[in-house]
């Protein structure tokens, strides 16, 4: 159990963005295809929630921690979203797998949010 998420890992950029990506894909998967447009907003909400939770436990910071938490939430969201994929012209072309070609759609669980 020590290899899974910990409070310290969730407080880091890597852990928070991984948790944001995971939570967004699980929630979006539970909602189904109708929730695809909501995934960006779900990711932003999860990222901001994790950032504000981290700020709430920061005992050595002043009131400016809430402003910093907002911007940290945007950084977490950007890392989970993959800002290196924006704008769409910067994305590399990917070859569709034979399953995607046969079924004519993307895999159900992990989909691009962009």
Mean pLDDT of 4-25: 85
Burial class (CB in 10 A: 0-12, 13-18, 19+), 47: buried
66 belongs to a structural domain: yes
Share of the chain above pLDDT 70, in %: 70
Whole-prediction pTM = 0.69
Domain of 30 in residue numbering reads as: 7-84
14 belongs to a structural domain: yes
Q: Residue 91: pLDDT above 80? A: no
User: For the chain, what is the domain count?
Assistant: 1
Average confidence score pLDDT of the chain: 77
52 belongs to a structural domain: yes
Mean pLDDT of 39-63: 89
62 belongs to a structural domain: yes
pLDDT at 98: 47
């Amino acid at each position: 159990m020590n290899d899974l998420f910990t409070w310290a890992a969730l407080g880091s950029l890597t852990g928070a963005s991984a948790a944001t990506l995971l939570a967004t894909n699980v929630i979006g998967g539970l909602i189904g295809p109708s929730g695809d447009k909501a995934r960006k907003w779900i990711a932003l909400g999860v990222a901001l929630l994790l950032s504000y939770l981290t700020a709430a436990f920061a005992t050595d910071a002043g009131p400016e921690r809430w402003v910093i938490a907002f911007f940290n939430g945007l950084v977490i969201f950007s890392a989970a979203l993959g800002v290196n994929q924006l704008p769409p012209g910067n994305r590399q072309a990917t070859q569709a797998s034979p399953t995607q070609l046969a079924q004519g759609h993307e895999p159900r669980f992990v989909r691009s949010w962009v």
